[in-house]
Chain A
Amino acid sequence: MVKVLIPSGALGLGYDREALARGIASQPDIIAIDGGSTDSGPHYLGTGTSKYSRNSTKAEWADLMAARAEAGVPLVIGTAGTCGADDAVDWLVEITREIAAERGERLSLAVLKSGQDGDAMAKALEEGRITPLTPAPEIAADLLCDCTNIVALAGAEQIQAALETGADIVIAGRTTDTAIISALPLARGCHAGGVWHGAKIGECGALATTSPNTGTILIEFDADGFTITPMGKDARATPHTVSAHMLYENSDPYRLYEPGGYLDVTGAQYEALDDRRVRVTGSQWVQTQPYTVKLEGARRVGFQTVSLVFVRDAHYVENIRKWIDDIHAKCTAKASARVDGDFQIELRIIGADATLGALDTHARPGSELGVMGIVTAETEALSREVAKMLNPYLLHHPLTEQEEMPTFAFPFSPPEMPRGAVYEFCLNHVLALADPMDAFRLTTEEVGQ
């Protein structure tokens, strides 16, 4: 039997300290936590930076390092620094060194990097080793070279290689959410279907229980399946909360594709052991050939500047669409005549249909509306320049020629807010590997004193 303690759905999200203490008292074999996700958008992969604050990350990581020392077992983090790019891994390694030094702890650290070289990926594309998943954006060699970061998602095999170094702490770049949980139980021969299923149920921590905010859960893997036990005092796992988690952020509730194969939960049985623990059996792991890993890539697509103005005059609120359409046409014409380079102006009505856009056929405006102007251009300077041309319209543009010049409400000076570079995800593809370690780099070091 292998016990995996999962402190939280992600490092930086917080968790119940008492629940973690109960988890440590349950004598886990490993502590595994996810460090990231694509859910917050392409900026993090594009820039190789973390979504969560350094101070929050450090405080929670220090707690987990202390818990690890107490339990005397390995601590593994996957997708370090939100995106798992090499720079984000280095960021967490630096934080780890600081904590080890402050705690006076000597630790062995294994670092698994997932970053991919654009030229090498262009070559893999040429060799036919990169294949698209539905729906995939079009890619070409130059697009791969254009990415600021490309990462491959490590699976259980690569995490196992990191654990085999005997490291106290494993800091991994991009991994699948499940890999850090599944690696040890698979290495020790637990039921593969049960392992991958339990890993999927556990990847968001206590989200598969009645008290998601407690964070911490323990999953015991064995020869037939797995058992989930929430560590929060009043948290309960039920057959419903556990089976329903297969739906979460998953396009297919019965299948989950991983490096080397897929999980099939069609035949899974969920049994309540008591009022807070659930046992699951009957899940299947199906191996596939060739061994593939998923790729993620982000590239810079321009720079943005945003302006926000509020409209309270009832006549303008009623005619807001006409107002912004007129501004859009006039400002685009003016800017095209006065600047060189590509730009786009977009005006979104905040308080009407800014959330869903054209899909929202039942939008109803209130007494006040905001208008957000977004200028996207190929350079920062051009984006700002066009946004400054947009400003006089947002400030004073009249609906009709025969009226006193109106003035609208700006909450900020200056009204233009630079958003900097903007990025897009540009890969939904898999990369075939002869050996699982081919796309990854594993190093070890001693930290602290």
Chain B
Amino acid sequence: MTALKDIAEKVRSKNAGPFWLTVDIFCGSEAAFSRISEGLDTAKVAQLFKADPAALKRFDIQDLYVVKFSLPRPAIQGTREDRDMHGASFAVLLSDVQID
């Protein structure tokens, strides 16, 4: 088991407008892409963000060696419950995930 951050080149998260969060995993190589793409379970990712799995979108982009997830923001941007206006810290949750 290895943490995702030790396999991928970069993991970033950002707002995609006030209502969506998007997380991009730049795998960096075909080998890393295959390992992450196969080893990262969508349901587990939804669970990390306490998101409805049905609302989570996943894109495995072979050309860029990127795995991308988009989900309704855990709290709408700027509401009293929101703690991260730009959504950039959520990437950490994925970075720490263990991959087989």
For B89, the chain A residues whose CB sits under 8 A away are 355-356
**B76 to A249, Cβ gap below 8 A?**
no
**A250 to B80, Cβ gap below 8 A?**
no
Most buried by A among B77, B78, B84, B85: B78
Q: Can you list, as one digit per residue, whether each of A353-368 has a CB less than 8 Å from chain B (1) or not (0)?
A: 0111111101000000
Q: A-B pairs with CB below 8 Å: how many?
A: 102
Smallest CB–CB gap between B78 and chain A, Å? 4
CA distance A423 to B76 in the complex (A): 12
Partner of B64, one of A133, A244, A302, A428: A244
Residues of B in contact with A (beta carbons under 8 Å apart): 14-20, 22, 24, 26, 48-50, 55, 57, 59, 61, 63-64, 66, 68, 70, 72, 74, 76-80, 83-86, 89-90, 92-93, 96
Could you show 28 A-B contacts with beta carbons less than 8 Å apart? A38-B15, A38-B17, A38-B77, A39-B15, A40-B85, A42-B18, A42-B78, A43-B78, A134-B55, A136-B19, A137-B76, A240-B64, A247-B24, A247-B68, A248-B14, A249-B16, A249-B17, A250-B22, A251-B70, A296-B18, A355-B83, A356-B84, A356-B90, A359-B48, A359-B90, A360-B93, A425-B19, A428-B19
**A424 to B19, Cβ gap below 8 A?**
no
Given A41-B78, A244-B66, A251-B20, 14 more pairs with CB closer than 8 A: A39-B85, A135-B19, A135-B55, A135-B72, A244-B26, A244-B64, A247-B61, A247-B66, A253-B68, A344-B80, A359-B74, A374-B80, A424-B76, A424-B79
**B85 to A243, Cβ gap below 8 A?**
no
CA distance A247 to B63 in the complex (A): 13
Please give the number of chain A residues whose Cβ is less than 8 angstroms from any Cβ of chain B in the complex. Answer: 43
If A43-B78, A244-B64, A251-B70 touch, does A38 touch B18 (CB 8 Å cutoff)? yes
For B72, the chain A residues whose CB sits under 8 A away are 134-135
For A437, the chain B residues whose CB sits under 8 A away are none
**B15 to A249, Cβ gap below 8 A?**
yes
Smallest CB–CB gap between B4 and chain A, Å? 13
A73 at the interface (CB under 8 A from B): no
For B15, the chain A residues whose CB sits under 8 A away are 38-39, 249
Partner of A428, one of B18, B70, B79: B18
CA distance A296 to B20 in the complex (A): 14
**B84 to A355, Cβ gap below 8 A?**
yes
If A135-B19, A135-B72, A250-B16 touch, does A356 touch B78 (CB 8 Å cutoff)? no
CA distance A346 to B81 in the complex (A): 10
CA distance A344 to B80 in the complex (A): 10
**B76 to A354, Cβ gap below 8 A?**
no
Smallest CB–CB gap between A156 and chain B, Å? 19
CA distance A346 to B82 in the complex (A): 12
Smallest CB–CB gap between B32 and chain A, Å? 15
CA distance A42 to B6 in the complex (A): 36
CA distance A133 to B15 in the complex (A): 16
CA distance A40 to B85 in the complex (A): 6
Smallest CB–CB gap between A112 and chain B, Å? 22
If A43-B78, A251-B16 touch, does A362 touch B83 (CB 8 Å cutoff)? no
Residue of B nearest to A243 (CB): B64
CA distance A356 to B84 in the complex (A): 8
CA distance A422 to B17 in the complex (A): 19
Smallest CB–CB gap between B33 and chain A, Å? 13
A283 at the interface (CB under 8 A from B): no
For A135, the chain B residues whose CB sits under 8 A away are 19-20, 55, 72
**A356 to B59, Cβ gap below 8 A?**
no
For A42, the chain B residues whose CB sits under 8 A away are 18, 77-78
For B24, the chain A residues whose CB sits under 8 A away are 247
Residue of B nearest to A137 (CB): B76
For B57, the chain A residues whose CB sits under 8 A away are 251-252
A301 at the interface (CB under 8 A from B): yes
For A428, the chain B residues whose CB sits under 8 A away are 17-19
Q: Can you list, as one digit per residue, whether each of A236-270 has a CB less than 8 Å from chain B (1) or not (0)?
A: 00001001100111111110000000000000000
**A362 to B96, Cβ gap below 8 A?**
yes
**A41 to B16, Cβ gap below 8 A?**
no
CA distance A374 to B76 in the complex (A): 18
**B74 to A249, Cβ gap below 8 A?**
no
If A356-B93, A359-B49, A362-B96 touch, does A39 touch B78 (CB 8 Å cutoff)? no
CA distance A252 to B55 in the complex (A): 13
Smallest CB–CB gap between A39 and chain B, Å? 6
For B18, the chain A residues whose CB sits under 8 A away are 38, 42, 296, 425, 428
**A301 to B80, Cβ gap below 8 A?**
yes
Q: Can you list, as one digit per residue, whether each of A32-73 has a CB less than 8 Å from chain B (1) or not (0)?
A: 000000111111000000000000000000000000000000
CA distance A136 to B64 in the complex (A): 31
